[in-house]
Amino acid sequence: MPRWKMSLGVLVLSLLLLSAVASLVMEYFAPSGAGRIWMGGLLMVLGGIITCSATRCYKRFVPDTDTRPRAVIEAYPSPFFLMGQDGVVECLNPAAAAMLSLLGLDSRFPPVVQRLAETSLAQGMDHLPDHPAQAVYIRMGEKDAYYLPRIFCIPNKKGGAVGVAIMLVDVTRVRWMDELRTGQIATVSHEIKTPLTAIRVMLHLLLEKKFGDLNTDQEEMMRTACGDCERLLRTLNHLLELSRLEAGAELMQMAPERPEELVGLAVGAASEIASLRGIRLETETAPGCPDVRVDAARFGHVLGNFLSNAVKFSPARSTVRVRVSEGEGGYVRFSVIDQGAGIAEEFQNRIFDRFFRLPGSGSEGVGLGLSIAREIVRAHQGRIGVVSAPGRGCEFYCELPPKN
C-alpha cells in the first residue's frame, strides 16, 4: 500500500478515536458552556499530540517501500532491466540507460539478451549462468565487452511469470584472463605432446626388439616407461580437449536422439568392466521423455565418465542404476546412481573442477574427466550436478533441453 494512504489512515483513525473520547469527556466532565470551551481547547491540543505521535511511529516502523528498492537499483553499477510479458523494457537503471545509448537502442535489449529473456519468460525459469564461457559478447562503440546475463523470473499467483529482471554482469576482464589461461594450457600441452609422441614410438620399437634383444630387466623398464608415456599422453589429450571445449572451438555434431538409446550405448560400453567387479547395471526410463538434440559421441563421454566412476567407487556385487526422467522445466534428466561411500558436502562444489581429486580416493586419474563432462554439458545448454551424502552413495546427473 502507498505510504500516503497509510498516513491518511493513521490520521483518520486518530481523529475518530479522539472524537469519541471528546464526546464522553464533554458529557460527564464539562456540562457548562465555559467548561466545554476550556475542555475543547485542551482536547484539540491532545489530538494534535496523538496525531503527530502516530505519524512518527508509522515513519519509524514502516519503511518507505516505494523509494528504497528503486534507489538501490539506480545505484547498482551493473545494467539492470525489468521486462514485462510483452517484451518491452518497463524499468532500467542509469547503467542500463548508458549501455542502450552506446548501442543506439531505444528501450530495447541487445538481440542476444532479448532471446535469452524471452526464453526464460516463456519457460518460467531463471537463467543463471556462472562461467565466463557462458557470457554474451556485446560491442559498444570501439569496445569489446562480455556480460554474464543473470535473468530472474517474476512469478505471479498462478505459477507463471509476469516479467523478468535482467542483470548484466561485466566479466570482460575475467573472460580475457580465462582465455589467456586456456590458450597457454593448450599451447604447452601441444608442445609437450609432439616430442612425447616420438618418445612413445621409440619405446615401442625397443619393446618390439627392432634394434636388438633386451634382457628381462631392460624389458621391464621399457614396459614401465611405455605405461607412463601412455598416461601422460592421455592427460595431454584431456587437457587439449578441455581447452577446446572451454574456448568454444570444439564443433558439436548435433542430431535428435532417443534418451534410452544414449543410455543403452553407454551401459553397453561399461558392462565389461562392471562384470569384472561383479557390479550389476540397471536402467530405467520414465515414459514420455522427449528426444534430445545432442552430439552422441561427446555425450557418450559424459555418461561413460559417470558410469566408470560409479563402477570404480562402488562396493563389489552392488548395483549401479542409470535413470532417465523428467527434470525441471521440461528438461530430460540422466542420472547414474551408485551405492558407494558418497561425497562429503564440502567437496561437492569442487568435484567438477579440473585436477580435483577426492581426498583418500586412491584414484589413478588426474581429475579431468568430470571437468570435460561439465564443458560438454554446457555446450549442449544443459545442467550438471551431484547429489550425495557420506555413506549414502552418489547420484551424478545432467539435464538436457528437449530437441524442440
Full domain range(s) for residue 53:
3-61
Look at 192 and 37; give whichever has higher pLDDT.
Answer: 192
**Domain of residue 180, CATH code:** 1.10.287
**Domain of residue 125, CATH code:** 3.30.450.20
362 pLDDT exceeds 80? no
Residues 14 and 97 in one domain: no
Question: What is the mean predicted confidence (pLDDT) over 172-194?
Answer: 75
Look at 362 and 256; give whichever has higher pLDDT.
Answer: 256
29 pLDDT exceeds 70? no
8 pLDDT exceeds 90? no
Strongest mean pLDDT among 57-61, 183-187, 216-220, 357-361: 216-220
158 pLDDT exceeds 80? no
Cα–Cα distance measured from residue 149 to residue 117, given in angstroms and rounded to the nearest whole number? 9
Asked which of 61, 84, 106 is the last residue of a domain, the reply is: 61
Asked which of 206, 222, 247 is the last residue of a domain, the reply is: 247
Cα–Cα distance measured from residue 320 to residue 282, given in angstroms and rounded to the nearest whole number? 6
Q: Structural domain tally of the chain? A: 4
51 pLDDT exceeds 80? no
Cα–Cα distance measured from residue 352 to residue 32, given in angstroms and rounded to the nearest whole number? 89
Residues 320 and 345 in one domain: yes
Residues 212 and 266 in one domain: no
Cα–Cα distance measured from residue 366 to residue 363, given in angstroms and rounded to the nearest whole number? 8
- Looking at residue 56, what is its pLDDT? 57
3-state secondary structure the chain: CCHHHHHHHHHHHHHHHHHHHHHHHHHHHCCCHHHHHHHHHHHHHHHHHHHHHHHHHHHHHCCCCCCHHHHHHHHCCCCEEEEECCCCEEEECHHHHHHHHHHCCCCCCCHHHHHHHHHHHHHCCCECCCCHHHCEEEEECCEEEEEEEEEEEEECCCCCEEEEEEEEEECHHHHHHHHHHHHHHHHHHHHHHHHHHHHHHHHHHHHCCCCCCCCHHHHHHHHHHHHHHHHHHHHHHHHHHHHHHHHCCCCCCCEEECHHHHHHHHHHHHHHHHHHCCCEEEEEECCCCCCEEECHHHHHHHHHHHHHHHHHHCCCCCEEEEEEEECHHHCEEEEEECCCCCCCHHHHCCCCCCCCCCCCCCCCCCCCHHHHHHHHHHHCCCEEEEEECCCCCEEEEEEECECC
**Portion of the chain with pLDDT greater than 70, in percent:** 77
Residues 110 and 141 in one domain: yes
- Looking at residue 394, what is its pLDDT? 92
Residues 320 and 355 in one domain: yes
- Looking at residue 206, what is its pLDDT? 86
How long a stretch of residues is the chain? Answer: 404
Residues 115 and 198 in one domain: no
- Looking at residue 204, what is its pLDDT? 84
Cα–Cα distance measured from residue 225 to residue 381, given in angstroms and rounded to the nearest whole number? 41
Residues 222 and 145 in one domain: no
| Residues pairing with 255 in the sheet | 294
- Looking at residue 4, what is its pLDDT? 47
- Looking at residue 48, what is its pLDDT? 55
Residues 165 and 184 in one domain: no
Cα–Cα distance measured from residue 37 to residue 152, given in angstroms and rounded to the nearest whole number? 63
Asked which of 247, 277, 304 is the last residue of a domain, the reply is: 247
Q: Provide the mean pLDDT of the chain.
A: 79
Residues 135 and 36 in one domain: no
Look at 356 and 265; give whichever has higher pLDDT.
Answer: 265
* Residue 284 and residue 244 in contact, taking contact as beta carbons nearer than 8 Å: no
Question: What is the mean predicted confidence (pLDDT) over 304-320?
Answer: 91
Look at 163 and 241; give whichever has higher pLDDT.
Answer: 163
Q: Among residues 50, 61, 2, which one has the least CA distance to residue 22?
A: 50
Q: In this structure, which long-range contacts are made by residues 346-351, counting pairs with CB atoms below 8 Å and at least 24 apart in sequence?
A: 348/386, 348/388, 351/386
Question: What is the mean predicted confidence (pLDDT) over 233-262?
Answer: 79
State pTM to two decimals: 0.59
**Domain of residue 338, CATH code:** 3.30.565.10
Residues 332 and 264 in one domain: yes
113 pLDDT exceeds 70? yes
Residues 136 and 53 in one domain: no
Cα–Cα distance measured from residue 301 to residue 377, given in angstroms and rounded to the nearest whole number? 10
